[in-house]
Amino acid sequence: MPSPTRSHLQALAHLAERLVDEYGVRLVRLRLAPAGTRAHLDVVWQGLALSTETVTSWETDAMRSGASSSALSVRDVIERHDGEIWFQRERARHESFFRMLLPIAEASTALSGANAPSAAMADTPASRPEYYDFDLFRDTGSARALADRALAELTCTVFDTETTGLDPGGGDRIVQIGAARIVAGKLRRHECFERLVDPQRAVSAASLAIHGIDAARLSGQPHAAQVLPIFHAFARDSVLVGHNAAFDLRFLREAEAEAGVVFDQPVLDTLLLSAYVHPRQESHSLEAIAARLGVAISGRHSALGDALVAAEIFLKLIPLLEARGIRTLRQALEAAQQTWHARLRY
């Protein structure tokens, strides 16, 4: 893994904010892949290609992100860490990205002891990429009504999806939705939601290897237009909670028009809340957070299994947030936006 610094994170935020502010890009994805003795870290978006002049300007201008700024440019940061950066476009996938080639951290910098992933976790298939949805913190009527409610008093629907692939804008769709209910700080395991969904398209080999939901299991299942209204009713009058929630929300929102529903509840993300509580930790994957907080993992990469793990994590995070003065929904949403993992002003 690359060894990220605050300047690396500021470089990512600088590039992503310019995409949003200057070109109206609504979804930015980070992608990490090995490249020999180094690693590729990509800032990816759909569609828009940048001119050579724009690319050069963004790489060499002094960085800014929200109210913070730096005398360094993105190129300065990358070169000071013995890396490289360039712009690339994949026309077949209608995808553009900045690619950073970075050195991989030495083994001595890896987590050790209680914070190290277990051998079982090391064998877990790769997690989905982190997504950033710039409507995640939008101010809705239900958010305002619940803003001053204590986190421990909220009714929450903790949910997760499994999908045909990782590209909702490119046609990937939901194959399973799972959710669990939290009421007044208690996980109600008997109040769960789990449905398979016929995506009306093939499941990619990469996704099949992760969740194992094949065409035979999906044959004859209801379509999203039938399942989403049922899930919408299950989640009514609650706060949605997810891990890397923007990923799952994007898939829900792709199907809203067809299903005739709108998911306008406030949303809390355990990834962002973990980043606020433990800002110095390198990883905020579901597995890493579960290990830190002592949450047992079972049923990984099933929608309900992951939702139950996320629910246990959320309940463990509440007292940690309270210890830092974060007691209400409003404060939790504001805290999440302060993290570098939120990347952007929403």
Q: In which residue are the tokens 């209608």 written?
A: 94
Q: Do 50 and 182 lie in a common domain?
A: no
Q: Do 187 and 306 lie in a common domain?
A: yes
Q: Do 244 and 311 lie in a common domain?
A: yes
Single-letter code of the amino acid located at 74:
V
Query: Which CATH number covers residue 325?
Result: 3.30.420.10
Q: Is the pTM of this model over 0.85?
A: no
Which domain, by its residues, includes 299? 135-342
Q: Do 186 and 283 lie in a common domain?
A: yes
Single-letter code of the amino acid located at 180:
A
- And the tokens for 88? 């690339």
234 CB-near residues (< 8 Å, 6+ apart): 157, 179, 193
Mean pLDDT, consecutive 10-residue segments, the chain of 346 residues? 65 90 88 82 87 89 75 85 85 86 60 37 48 57 83 96 90 96 93 95 92 95 96 95 92 94 94 92 90 87 92 97 96 85 44
Q: Do 240 and 304 lie in a common domain?
A: yes
First to last CA, the chain: 28
The residue from 14, 211, 284, 301 that is catalytic is 301
Residue 139, in any domain of the structure: yes
- Beta-bridged to residue 242, according to DSSP, are 269
Question: Could you give the CA distance from residue 25 to residue 39 in angstroms, rounded to a whole number?
Answer: 25
Q: Do 87 and 178 lie in a common domain?
A: no
Ordered alpha helix ranges (H), the chain: 6-23, 52-60, 74-80, 119-122, 141-146, 205-211, 215-218, 224-234, 245-259, 270-277, 286-293, 303-323, 329-338
Q: Do 80 and 166 lie in a common domain?
A: no
Of 113, 188, 135, 132, residue with least CA distance to 157: 188
Give how many domains the chain has, as a whole number: 2
Q: Do 23 and 94 lie in a common domain?
A: yes
Residue 115, in any domain of the structure: no
Contact 63, 14 (CB under 8 A): yes
Is 301 annotated in the active site? Answer: yes
Q: Do 103 and 39 lie in a common domain?
A: yes
- And the tokens for 172? 């990937």
- Residue 130 has what pLDDT? 61
- Residue 122 has what pLDDT? 36
Q: In which residue are the tokens 């246990």 written?
A: 312
- Residue 140 has what pLDDT? 67
285 CB-near residues (< 8 Å, 6+ apart): 127
